Amino acid sequence: MPDSLTIELSRIAEAAIEKSDRLAAAAALLTGGELVFVEPPMVSFVAQSSASGGIQVHGELDAHVRLTCRRCLAEYEDTFVVPLEFRLEPGLEPDAEDEGVFALPPDGDVVDIAPIVREELSLAMPEFPECRADCRGLCPSCGVNLNEATCECGSSEPDPRWETLRKLRV
Ligand SMILES: [Zn+2]
Ligand SMILES: [Zn+2]
């Protein structure tokens, strides 16, 4: 499937470009973990040229992803609607890029926004995915999934987030 999350610079000078397409699933590798799409995310956006010679993009991304619960390690599915709001500015050094501002490539007629969209999706993912707010996690002694069974260990489960904090304090 061709990735058509592109903006043609010769067209945008005339009028705003409005597009919607799916983000190619094969390109969905993210830093710090893997993100599995249940189906390719749908992206809709409107791009307009701005007074500064750049491009203003706004739109929305609908993603249905499969995550792994950090507490019980079970896989679960969740959906996210991520707002897209960013600018592409000409003459911007790559290291001057900031939240919502990206460099407009100096040459070529076509700008592919798929990498930016993937980055925005990555940022929208929870740092601590939980299958549900009251997930009981795994028993720290015997490893049984406490959402599905009880065990005889009788220990009260420590919250792994407090565990991390405790380590930081030592
Ligand atoms: Zn869980
Ligand atoms: Zn146990």
Full pLDDT tens readout for the chain, 170 residues? 445 799 998 888 889 999 999 987 554 444 456 688 888 899 999 999 988 889 999 999 999 999 999 999 999 999 999 999 999 998 887 777 777 898 888 788 899 998 889 888 888 888 899 999 999 999 999 999 999 999 988 755 556 666 666 666 65
Q: Which ligand is nearest to the CA of 131?
A: 1
Flag whether 131 is in a domain: no
Residues 46 and 101 reside in one and the same domain: yes
Flag whether 1 is in a domain: no
Query: Residue 170: what pLDDT?
Result: 52
Flag whether 89 is in a domain: yes
Residues 44 and 83 reside in one and the same domain: yes
Q: Rounded to the nearest whole angstrom, what is the distance from the C-alpha of residue 88 to the centroid of ligand 2? A: 53
Q: Which ligand is nearest to the CA of 76?
A: 1
Closest among 87, 107, 114, 106 to 98, alpha carbons compared: 87
Q: Rounded to the nearest whole angstrom, what is the distance from the C-alpha of residue 71 to the centroid of ligand 2? A: 14
Q: Residue 71's domain spans which residues? A: 6-124
For 42, other C-beta atoms within 10 Å of its C-beta total 15
What backbone torsions phi and psi does residue 67 show, to the nearest 5 degrees? -120, 165
Query: What distance in Å separates the CA atoms of residue 117 and residue 44, rounded to the nearest whole number?
Result: 11
Q: Rounded to the nearest whole angstrom, what is the distance from the C-alpha of residue 56 to the centroid of ligand 1? A: 39
Q: Rounded to the nearest whole angstrom, what is the distance from the C-alpha of residue 154 to the centroid of ligand 2? A: 7
Helix residue ranges per DSSP H, 56-156? 114-124
Q: Rounded to the nearest whole angstrom, what is the distance from the C-alpha of residue 145 to the centroid of ligand 1? A: 9
Q: Rounded to the nearest whole angstrom, what is the distance from the C-alpha of residue 93 to the centroid of ligand 1? A: 42
Residues 77 and 156 reside in one and the same domain: no
Query: What distance in Å separates the CA atoms of residue 84 and residue 59, rounded to the nearest whole number?
Result: 5
Flag whether 129 is in a domain: no
**pTM for this model (two decimals):** 0.76
Q: Rounded to the nearest whole angstrom, what is the distance from the C-alpha of residue 53 to the centroid of ligand 2? A: 62
- Number of compact structural domains in the chain: 2
Q: Which ligand is nearest to the CA of 154?
A: 2
Asked if 111 contacts 55 with a C-beta cutoff of 8 angstroms, the reply is yes
Flag whether 35 is in a domain: yes
3-state class (DSSP) for residue 159: coil
